[in-house]
Structure 1
Amino acid sequence: MRYLMTTTINETRQDEQLFTEMAKFVEELTAAGILLATGGLAPRATLVSSEDGRITVTDGPFAEAKEVAAGFALVEVASKEEALELARRFRRIVGDGDSVIQEVFTP
């Protein structure tokens, strides 16, 4: 099962220990074949909407800065419980904030 895990901005902790712990975590997941992709997201997004055949493009931001997804990880695990445990481990490393987990459906 694949899960997309997104996280909000965490401005409370940006230190060398954080970067070391995250590098170790990412290396572990990559070596195990769990981590498929990861990256940061720009704070501004563009919304493309359609209604009655009309396309509208709207530049963001769309939410408060603390609600904007700042990064993502795409993981492949055996169960939702395993994805939740990865999210718990991630939150323990980075500290306060929110992470959202969504199953990714694949053919």
Structure 2
Amino acid sequence: MRFMIIVRATADTEAGVMPEAPLLAAMAAYHEELAKAGVLLDANGLKASSQGWRIRYRNGKGTVIDGPFAETKELIAGYTLIQVRSREEAMEWARRYPAPMGEHADGEIEVREVFELEDFEPGETIDRFRTLQAAGY
């Protein structure tokens, strides 16, 4: 089972404020623990939405919308992707996640399970995805 631990953005992350050394050290230690346990798949911080864009679809047509985006609470500052044996194990790891904005600052993470190909009805399209997955994509 794969789970994504999502770090919610704040006004500071959107302003491009970089994490201070103690927070970076705590994050490095946490991710080292995940790696040693063999559950870490990927982890990254994301640049501010001012450096990104969205594509909004209406009636099948996509329109590019440049950042920044106003609703900070809807934005993501980073993520950690883990693969574990159960929801309970994912919750255990999530509870150990360092305070994402620093020890004395408000912050929030969200944990979401990632769909697996087994969650979908078998068929030709799912087989195409399995081929991609087998190739490492």
Deviations 1:19-74, CA, capped at 9 Å, x for gaps: 33322211111121111000011111321122223211111233444653111000
- For residues 92 and 54 of structure 2, the distance between their equivalents in structure 1, rounded to whole angstroms, comes to 32
Match of 1:24 in 2: 29
Comparing 61-70 with 82-91, greater Cα deviation is found at 61-70
* 1:27-46 paired onto structure 2 within 5 Å: 27-44=32-49, 45-46=52-53
- For residues 33 and 20 of structure 2, the distance between their equivalents in structure 1, rounded to whole angstroms, comes to 20
- For residues 60 and 70 of structure 1, the distance between their equivalents in structure 2, rounded to whole angstroms, comes to 14
User: Can you give the 5+ residue segments of structure 2 that lack an aligned partner in the other structure?
Assistant: 13-18, 118-137
Q: Is the 8 A contact 1:36 1:75 kept in 2?
A: yes
One-letter amino acid of the structure 1 residue matched with residue 112 of structure 2: Q
Q: Is the 8 A contact 1:43 1:68 kept in 2?
A: no
1:51 aligns with 2:61: no
Between Structure 1 and Structure 2, which shows a larger proportion of strand residues? 1
Deviations 1:2-21, CA, capped at 9 Å, x for gaps: 0111112466xx54433333
Q: Is the 8 A contact 2:3 2:112 kept in 1?
A: yes
- For residues 51 and 75 of structure 1, the distance between their equivalents in structure 2, rounded to whole angstroms, comes to 34
Q: How many residue pairs get matched?
A: 105
Q: TM-score, normalised by structure 2?
A: 0.64
Calculate the aligned-residue CA RMSD, in Å.
2.3
Identity of aligned residues (%): 40
